[in-house]
Structure 1
Amino acid sequence: MGDICLAVDIGASSGRVIKSTLMNDKFSIEEIHRFSNRINREEDRCFWDVEHLFSEILIGLKKFSKTGLKPESIGIDTWAVDYVLMNNKMNRAYPVYAYRDSRTDETMDKIFTHISKERIYEKTGIQFLQFNTLYQLYEHVKTNPEIKDNVNMVLMIPDYLNYLLCGETSIEYTNATTTQMYNIGDMKWDEELLDIIGIDKDKFPQVVQPGTVLGSLTNEVKDEVNLEDVKVIAPATHDTGSAVVSVPAVDDDFAYISSGTWSLMGIESDNPICTNKALSYNFTNEGGAYGKVRVLKNIMGLWLIQEVKRLLNDKYSFGELVILAKESNSTALINPNNSRFLNPSDMIDEIKTYCEETGQTVPSTPGDIAKCIFESLALQYKQVLIELREISNKTINKIHIVGGGSQNRYLNRLCADYTQCEVYSGPIEATAIGNLMVQYITLGKIQSLAEARKIINASFNIEKFVPAKLESAEEKWSRFLELP
Structure 2
Amino acid sequence: MTDYYLAVDIGASSGRHILGWQENGKMRLEEIYRFTNELENKNNHLCWNMERLFAEVVNGIKKCKELNRLPKSIGIDTWGVDFVLLDENMQMLGDAVGYRDSRTAGMDEEVYKIIDEKQLYARNGIQKMIINTIYHLYALKKQQPELLAAAKHFLMIPEYLNYRLTNVIKNEYTNATTTQLVNADTRDWDWELIDMLGLPKNIFGKLYMPKETVGNFSEAMKKQLGFSCEVVLPATHDTGSAVMAVPSNNEDDIYLSSGTWSLMGIERLIPDCTEKSRLHNFTNEGGYHHRYRYLKNIMGMWMMQSLRKEFKHAYTFEELFTLAYIGRYFKSTVDVTADCFLAPASMSEAIRNYCQQTKQPVPQTEGEILFCVYNSLAKCYSDVVQELEEMTGSCHKDIHVIGGGCQDRFLNALTAFYTKKDVYAGPVEATAIGNIAAQMLKAGEFSDLPEARRVIAKSFAVKKVNNNEFSFEVNNIRSVG
Partner residue in 1 for 2:6: 6
Give 1:320-359 correspondences, 5 Å limit.
Answer: 320-328=319-327, 329-359=329-359
Normalising by structure 1, we get a TM-score of 0.96
**Does the Cα contact within 8 Å between 1:175 and 1:237 map onto a contact in 2?**
yes
Q: Is 1:461 matched up with 2:461?
A: yes
Aligned residues: 479
Partner residue in 1 for 2:124: 124
Give 1:320-399 correspondences, 5 Å limit.
Answer: 320-328=319-327, 329-399=329-399
Partner residue in 1 for 2:253: 254
Q: Secondary structure at the match of 2:67?
A: coil
Distance in 1 of aligned mates of 2:467 and 2:474: 12
**Does the Cα contact within 8 Å between 1:263 and 1:302 map onto a contact in 2?**
yes
Give 1:74-85 correspondences, 5 Å limit.
Answer: 74-85=74-85
Partner residue in 2 for 1:135: 135
Distance in 1 of aligned mates of 2:186 and 2:277: 20
Deviations 1:262-299 (A, max 9, x none): 00001000100111111001110000002210001100
Deviations 1:195-249 (A, max 9, x none): 2443222211110001111111111111111222x11100000000000000001
User: Given residue 475 of structure 1, which amino acid in structure 2 is its aligned partner?
Assistant: N
Distance in 2 of aligned mates of 1:91 and 1:313: 42
User: Given residue 44 of structure 1, which amino acid in structure 2 is its aligned partner?
Assistant: N
**Does the Cα contact within 8 Å between 2:73 and 2:439 map onto a contact in 1?**
yes
**Does the Cα contact within 8 Å between 1:154 and 1:203 map onto a contact in 2?**
yes
- Deviation of residue 366 (structure 1)? 1.3
Q: Identity over aligned residues, as a percent?
A: 42
User: Given residue 318 of structure 2, which amino acid in structure 1 is its aligned partner?
Assistant: G
In structure 2, do the counterparts of structure 1 residues 269 and 473 end up closer, same or farther at CA, with 3 Å as the change threshold?
farther
**Does the Cα contact within 8 Å between 1:217 and 1:232 map onto a contact in 2?**
yes
Normalising by structure 2, we get a TM-score of 0.97
Partner residue in 2 for 1:240: 239
Partner residue in 2 for 1:318: 317
Q: Is 1:432 matched up with 2:432?
A: yes
Partner residue in 1 for 2:408: 408
Runs of 4+ aligned structure 1 residues displaced above 3 Å come to: 466-474
Distance in 1 of aligned mates of 2:99 and 2:415: 28
- Deviation of residue 16 (structure 1)? 0.8
User: Given residue 315 of structure 2, which amino acid in structure 1 is its aligned partner?
Assistant: Y
Distance in 2 of aligned mates of 1:121 and 1:6: 36
Q: Secondary structure at the match of 2:410?
A: helix
- Deviation of residue 193 (structure 1)? 2.3
**Does the Cα contact within 8 Å between 2:11 and 2:37 map onto a contact in 1?**
yes
**Does the Cα contact within 8 Å between 1:420 and 1:467 map onto a contact in 2?**
no
In structure 2, do the counterparts of structure 1 residues 43 and 332 end up closer, same or farther at CA, with 3 Å as the change threshold?
farther
User: Given residue 12 of structure 2, which amino acid in structure 1 is its aligned partner?
Assistant: A
- Deviation of residue 471 (structure 1)? 7.4
Distance in 1 of aligned mates of 2:382 and 2:248: 20
User: Given residue 219 of structure 2, which amino acid in structure 1 is its aligned partner?
Assistant: N
- Deviation of residue 394 (structure 1)? 2.8
Distance in 1 of aligned mates of 2:133 and 2:266: 23
- Deviation of residue 313 (structure 1)? 4.3
Distance in 2 of aligned mates of 1:313 and 1:76: 35
Q: Is 1:185 matched up with 2:194?
A: no
Distance in 2 of aligned mates of 1:227 and 1:8: 17
**Does the Cα contact within 8 Å between 1:422 and 1:467 map onto a contact in 2?**
no
- Deviation of residue 44 (structure 1)? 3.5
- Deviation of residue 442 (structure 1)? 0.6
**Does the Cα contact within 8 Å between 1:264 and 1:296 map onto a contact in 2?**
yes
- Deviation of residue 470 (structure 1)? 8.1
- Deviation of residue 43 (structure 1)? 5.6
- Deviation of residue 22 (structure 1)? 1.1
Distance in 2 of aligned mates of 1:275 and 1:458: 38
Q: What 5-or-longer segments of structure 1 have no aligned partner? A: none
Range with bigger deviation, 69-78 or 36-45: 36-45
In structure 2, do the counterparts of structure 1 residues 473 and 388 end up closer, same or farther at CA, with 3 Å as the change threshold?
farther
User: Given residue 24 of structure 1, which amino acid in structure 2 is its aligned partner?
Assistant: N
Q: Secondary structure at the match of 1:264?
A: strand
Q: Is 1:53 matched up with 2:53?
A: yes
Deviations 1:418-453 (A, max 9, x none): 000000111111111100000001100111111111
Give 1:95-174 correspondences, 5 Å limit.
Answer: 95-174=95-174
Range with bigger deviation, 431-440 or 178-187: 178-187
Distance in 2 of aligned mates of 1:148 and 1:42: 20
Distance in 2 of aligned mates of 1:11 and 1:313: 25
Q: Secondary structure at the match of 2:464?
A: strand
**Does the Cα contact within 8 Å between 1:19 and 1:32 map onto a contact in 2?**
yes
Q: Is 1:283 matched up with 2:282?
A: yes
- Deviation of residue 105 (structure 1)? 1.8
Deviations 1:446-481 (A, max 9, x none): 1111111111111111010255798766622xx22x
Range with bigger deviation, 182-191 or 160-169: 182-191
User: Given residue 153 of structure 1, which amino acid in structure 2 is its aligned partner?
Assistant: H
User: Given residue 360 of structure 2, which amino acid in structure 1 is its aligned partner?
Assistant: Q
Q: What 5-or-longer segments of structure 2 have no aligned partner? A: none
User: Given residue 262 of structure 1, which amino acid in structure 2 is its aligned partner?
Assistant: W
Q: Secondary structure at the match of 2:145?
A: coil
Partner residue in 1 for 2:476: 475
User: Given residue 192 of structure 2, which amino acid in structure 1 is its aligned partner?
Assistant: E
Q: Secondary structure at the match of 1:30?
A: strand
Distance in 2 of aligned mates of 1:420 and 1:148: 50
Distance in 2 of aligned mates of 1:18 and 1:451: 21
**Does the Cα contact within 8 Å between 2:114 and 2:197 map onto a contact in 1?**
no
Range with bigger deviation, 153-162 or 458-467: 458-467
Distance in 2 of aligned mates of 1:236 and 1:447: 17
In structure 2, do the counterparts of structure 1 residues 470 and 379 end up closer, same or farther at CA, with 3 Å as the change threshold?
farther
- Deviation of residue 332 (structure 1)? 2.1
